[in-house]
Structure 1
Amino acid sequence: MAACGALADAAGWQATFYATGAAGALWFVAWMLVVRDSPDVDPRITPQEKKFIHDALGSVKPQAAGGRRPWGRILRSPPVWAVAVAHFCEGWGYTTFLTQLPTFMTDALNFNLAKSGLLSALPYVAMIVSLPSVSVLSDWLVARKFLTVTQARKTFNCVAFLAQTVFLFLTTVVGSPYAVVACMTIAQGIGAFACCGFSVNPLDLAPQHASVIMGLSCTVSTLSGMVSPLLTGFIVTDKTQEQWNKVFYVASGVYLFGAVFYFLFASGERQSWAKDGSEAEAEAENSAEAVPLKA
């Protein structure tokens, strides 16, 4: 994003599409050369890494292609919809940042194209810095039993969404353009916490069905990527600060709704419909043994 502003300023807006298209083509080549179906057929994986992955998966086996899935129970599961709704809300805010931030900086803050591209990149730099450390912190808190998996998912996701709610709202009241950039940068930096929430949550709920849960979640999230720019275009007709403020009010409200919904319905526990017969029987036996007998 930082380079595209300078590139468009120097060589025209078409150059940004050529550059990003070429980057996508190079990524595709790398993907085809490197990615494998499983750790067992990857020639580059170390034995230690392969053992770590198998131990982490335990007895869970990936769903075979064409195998039956409990679609009805997946679609009726509140924790699954908590993931989907959180993904929608994050997608709304992310699309607002990604597609509208350079335009907002040019229209409302009067930055030139090259400068707006550089400043628009700062929120993503903040994400790059915060995400690795936050991920380690989340796993550490769970491993040390300071938080359960459910508590960790809810805490990190809701902290992210509530921070984005607050700092997006603050962009409408601070007076300095650089204060606006600072608020957006902090919002995205703390927003990385959500990657330790809904982003990894499908693996908690149903490891063997995590791919289709994430696919469902991404589909719902994509709807926000369609609606958010359309709504922005409907609101911002005169390119004034007041109109842009309404865009940020809406994004703040969406994040707040996502925080509440995820807090109420999310779970970090393996769902009953994702357990095979032996696991369900063992769990029932453990529950029965834990109940004290009445005299």
Structure 2
Amino acid sequence: MVTEVELSPTSKQSEYVLGTPADKKTPPRQAPRLCSVRYGIAFITHLCNFTLLAQNSIVSITMVAMVNSTEHAPHSNSSSKALPAALNDEEHEASTHLSVKAPVYNWSPQTQGLIFSSVQYGMMLMQGPGGYLAGKIGTKKVVGIALFGSSLLTLCIPLAANLGLAYLLATRVAQGFTQGTGYGGQFALWQRWAPPNERSRLCSIAISGIILGIFAVVLVGGIISESLGWPFVFYIFGGIGFVCCLFWVFLVYDDPDSHPWISGSEKEYILSSVDQQLGSEEQPLPVKAMLKSLPLWSICLCTTAHQWLINTYVTYTPTYISSVFNINIRDNGLLSSLPFFIAWAVGMLGGQLADFLLSKNFRLVTVRKVITILGVIPPAALIVALPYVQTSYITTITFLTLSCGISPLSQSGVYINALDIAPRYGSLLMGTSRGLAHSSAVLVPIVGGLFLSQDSEFGWRNLFFLLFAINLFGLIMYLVFGQADVQEWARERKLTRL
């Protein structure tokens, strides 16, 4: 007879505070953080996320220069994305009016919407499988191949656009699959490299690269398009991707055991901390238990709701500024990038705040929920207030900047909570939750288009109220059902014969 015996000494596993279980007498000695390998890997992952999200967002910025503005009324890149993704004409032809520096195309707004959305489906579908695959064959291989593929496809987009719309769409779809795989696959690193008492700051350093990538593209995309031509935006960020790929291949390793240059003290510190949560044996994936887990569902719902807020920033910040204040594209880019720069800095500091609270013996679940509240309620409330202060230019920009800037605090809350409740399945669960949350990247433009196409003034107001309601619902679910102790189905079990 074969039975499962739980290796945990108690039926209720205690939470980890400062990376040490309650029944562990001597905590692992902490290794220095300055010039440490684990923080170096976090910054390389930061650069990887910067590259992937920058390459993902390029088309949204360059579309203004890629289309023939004499054939269509001016649309900002984000508002075009909100239009229905239906293709009126299956073929496109290059405009007879060519720019001195780059070709332009007769793409209708519907065609532009199709181009925008084509990359999002792969991002949504592949983050979960990417995390699972990285857990099986290693993060270094999965993310390295994905980063190389995304960079190569980024370089090919100008050529694909010249060959025809079908080639461009196929390239964008393939790019979405590589980016989703790379983004979801990276989370397996922190199962092996992040001691629980440093998990918040290491993950926040890595994830903040996403915001920096958006900031960089919004800031310099228009400038490069005007000075060199829109193809050079793809060439430059594609080249950056290959440089990042070299850093990744030569400096990132799947675990401390395989790293050739890590010090003995750091290696001992990481392994002694992480091995307390990770078992040594392979176990079947508890799919049924995962599907029944309310703490896991609360993470997915809250993450999806918060991503609705983030994608509203990405999609509609330039549009809102342009529609309210009629600012030219260059100034719009500068103003639209400012909130993302603040968000990048706050995202990095959020991890420090979370780990500081843990060092003061706050319960882990309390820290995760408090940080999540700070990243959800104030930003959503400031967004709702925008239509009521739009008569003041300074107040509007201040509210928008504060809202976007505060929101990344949630990165150190609900976004990494899956590593707390199921560390052995962390990469799969974080990738899956982020993949589900990425559905908002498809839904936000569709819903926004419905509101804004009817009435501009009330459309913005209704869009922002819906955003607040969605975020409030997701937060309430997380506050009620969210946990931070390792779940029953995620503990190590050993098969024994009786």
Output the TM-score relative to the length of structure 1. 0.84
CA distance in 1, matches of 2:250, 2:490: 33
> 1:6 corresponds to which residue?
223
Question: Which residue in 1 is equivalent to 2:296?
Answer: 80
Match of 1:270 in 2: 486
Question: Structure 1: which 5+ runs fail to align?
Answer: 279-295
> Aligned partner of 2:335: which letter?
L
Shift of 1:267: 0.7
Show the counterpart of 1:184. Answer: 400
Structure-2 separation of matches of 1:8 and 1:106 = 19
Instruction: Report the secondary structure of 2:320's partner residue.
Output: helix
Aligned to 1:240: 456
Choose the corresponding residue for 2:376, options 156, 161, 167. 161
Deviations 1:184-215 (A, max 9, x none): 21112221220121122111101101111112
Aligned to 1:59: 276
Structure 2 residue 284 is the aligned partner of structure 1 residue 71 = no
- Unaligned runs of 5+ residues in structure 2 are 1-217
Is the CA contact 2:367–2:413 (under 8 Å) kept in the aligned structure 1? yes
Give the drift of 1:13: 4.9
- Between the aligned partners of 2:396 and 2:229, the Cα distance in structure 1 is 27
- Give per-residue Cα distances to partners, 1:210-244, cap 9 Å, x unaligned: 11111220121111111111222232237834423
Q: Aligned letter for 2:339?
A: P
Q: How far 1:63 sits from its partner (Å)?
A: 7.7
Whole-Å Cα distance in 2 between the matches of residues 219 and 117 of structure 1? 28
The corresponding residue for 1:30 is 247
Q: In the alignment, residue 371 of structure 2 is paired with which amino acid?
A: F
Partner of residue 281, structure 1:
none
Contact 2:279-2:492 at 8 Å conserved across structures: no
The residue that corresponds to 2:260 in the other structure is 43
**Within the alignment, does 1:91 sit opposite 2:310 as a pair?**
no
* Residue of structure 2 equivalent to 1:119: 335
Query: Which of the residues 136, 150, 157 maps onto 2:365?
Result: 150
Q: Which amino acid aligns with 1:151?
A: T
Count of residue correspondences: 276
CA contact (8 A) 2:416 2:430 kept: no
Q: Could you tell me how far apart the structure 2 residues matched to 1:53 and 1:266 are?
A: 27
Task: Give the letter for the 1:222 counterpart.
Answer: H
Higher helix share: 1
Match of 1:204 in 2: 420
Deviates more, 1:178-187 or 1:10-19: 10-19
Q: 1:268 to 1:25 in 2, by over 3 A?
A: same
CA distance in 2 between partners of 1:214 and 1:193 (Å)? 17
- C-alpha change, 1:216 and 1:266, in structure 2 (3 Å) is same
Cα 1:3–1:186, aligned 2, differ >3 Å: closer, same or farther?
Answer: same
- C-alpha spacing 1:62/1:128, structure 2 compared with 1 (3 Å): farther
Which amino acid counterpart does residue 277 of structure 2 have in structure 1? V
Between the aligned partners of 1:230 and 1:15, the Cα distance in structure 2 is 30
C-alpha separation between the residues in 2 aligned to 1:102 and 1:32?
36
Deviations 1:250-278 (A, max 9, x none): 22222222221111111111111111248
Equivalent AA in structure 2 for residue 28 of structure 1: C
What is the one-letter code of the residue matched to 2:386?
T
- Contact persistence 1:164–1:191 (CA under 8 A): yes
Secondary structure class of the residue paired with 2:415: coil
Give the counterpart letter for 1:256 in structure 2: L
Counterpart-to-counterpart distance in 1, 2:222 and 2:394: 18
CA distance in 1 between partners of 2:234 and 2:451 (Å): 27
